[in-house]
């Protein structure tokens, strides 16, 4: 999962940190931190990547996960055929399984040791239809059938950055192929206050999925700090009224930008291609973290 750099401080001293057993042999980067209220923070390489509340999968702590969930909630009622690029704690797949029972879900997560540790420590619910494939997003998506997903959720990070291979026109052309008619792309990314990488990423997506919107907190939207933005896109008009209403229900002061307001915020930019694709900027170092 991506990293919400604005929501962490020094952890509570009562927190219980449990390393995956493989850590002792130096083969796994995963730690599980109990927040003392029944929730668990999944730490990868020392960074918080996911928050999981087994007792209530609807409890979403990180802001960008709430934004991704808002996109899920505006899809037509009933089970959703979802493809997730990036797994970590499997927070969003758990949410979909809980709110849309019977949803067939595919998770593309190359870090097999992370998936094994997560499934051992934070078991998936009974009756789930979540299949995790140990493959990177680019290769895994290539194997999926045309129109096989109603939702493609991209939340993939390596060393705190969205990999360059997940930012190009060629990649999003494949995403559009996998999305069914009216299907939605929801992508979590992070950028510096200048938003130049975000602008190019948005321009890239718009070349193949022309109906777009962006969800971000007010601070990030105004360029006051490094932070996360969820880009939403489709080949058909987005359910903007429903999405704006759902975004307003999140626990954060968030804004849905689209049309001229999004164009003014990001300005013009050149789309990425495989030849010049760039990973998202490296996040600033923040000492400590906390969960809300």
Please provide the DSSP assignment of 121-151 as one string. HSPPPTT--EEEESS-HHHHHHTSPTT-EEE
Task: Give the separation between CA 2 and CA 18, rounded to whole angstroms.
Answer: 21
Q: Give the residue from 176, 184, 119, 128 showing the smallest Cα distance to 153.
A: 184
Q: How many domains does the chain have?
A: 1
The parent domain of residue 40 ranges over 23-266
What pLDDT score does 105 carry? 97
What pLDDT score does 166 carry? 97
Average pLDDT for 83-109: 96
pTM of the model: 0.88
What pLDDT score does 23 carry? 41
pLDDT tens per residue, range 39-52: 999 988 777 888 99
Residue 28 binned pLDDT confidence (cut-offs 50, 70, 90) = low
Q: Give the residue from 206, 151, 140, 199 showing the smallest Cα distance to 173.
A: 206
What pLDDT score does 153 carry? 98
Question: What is the edge-to-edge ordering of all strands in the sheet holding 149-154?
Answer: 130-133, 105-108, 82-85, 149-154, 179-191, 227-234, 211-217, 254-258
50 assigned to some structural domain: yes
121 assigned to some structural domain: yes
pLDDT tens per residue, range 209-255: 999 999 999 899 888 899 999 999 999 999 999 999 999 999 888 99
Residue 156 has pLDDT above 90, yes or no: yes
6 assigned to some structural domain: no
247 assigned to some structural domain: yes
288 assigned to some structural domain: no
Average pLDDT for 68-90: 96
What pLDDT score does 287 carry? 55
2 assigned to some structural domain: no
pLDDT tens per residue, range 129-146: 999 999 999 999 999 999
Q: What CATH number should be reported for the domain holding residue 150?
A: 3.40.50.150
290 assigned to some structural domain: no
User: Which distant-in-sequence residues (6+ apart) come within 8 Å of 202 by Cβ?
Assistant: 212, 214, 231, 262, 266, 269
273 assigned to some structural domain: no
Q: Do β-strands 105-108 and 149-154 pair in parallel, antiparallel, or remain unpaired?
A: unpaired
């Amino acid at each position: 999962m991506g990293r919400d750099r604005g929501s962490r401080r020094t952890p509570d001293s009562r927190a219980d940190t449990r390393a995956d057993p493989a850590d002792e042999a130096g083969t796994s980067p995963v730690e599980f931190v109990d927040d003392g209220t029944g929730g668990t923070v999944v730490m990868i390489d020392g960074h918080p990547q996911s928050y999981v509340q087994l007792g209530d999968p609807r409890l979403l702590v990180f802001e960008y996960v709430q934004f991704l969930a808002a996109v899920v909630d505006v899809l037509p009622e009933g089970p959703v055929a979802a493809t997730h690029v990036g797994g970590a704690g499997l927070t969003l797949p758990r949410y979909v399984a809980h709110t849309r029972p019977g949803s067939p879900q595919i998770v593309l997560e190359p870090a097999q040791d992370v998936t094994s540790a997560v499934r051992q420590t934070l078991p998936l619910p009974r009756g789930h239809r979540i299949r995790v494939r140990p493959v990177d997003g680019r290769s895994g998506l290539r194997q999926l059938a045309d129109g096989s997903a109603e939702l493609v959720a991209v939340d993939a990070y390596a060393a705190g950055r969205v990999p360059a291979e997940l930012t190009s026109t060629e990649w999003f052309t494949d995403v559009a192929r996998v999305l069914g008619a009216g299907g939605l792309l929801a992508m979590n990314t992070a950028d510096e206050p200048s938003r130049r990488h975000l602008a190019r990423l948005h321009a890239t997506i718009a070349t193949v999925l022309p109906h777009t919107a962006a969800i971000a907190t007010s601070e990030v939207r105004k360029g006051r700090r490094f932070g996360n933005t969820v880009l939403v896109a489709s080949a058909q008009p987005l359910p903007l009224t429903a999405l704006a209403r759902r975004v307003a229900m999140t626990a954060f002061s968030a804004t849905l930008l689209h049309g001229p307001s999004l164009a003014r915020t990001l300005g013009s930019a050149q789309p990425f291609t495989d030849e010049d694709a760039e990973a998202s900027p490296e996040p600033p170092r923040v000492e400590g973290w906390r969960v809300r």
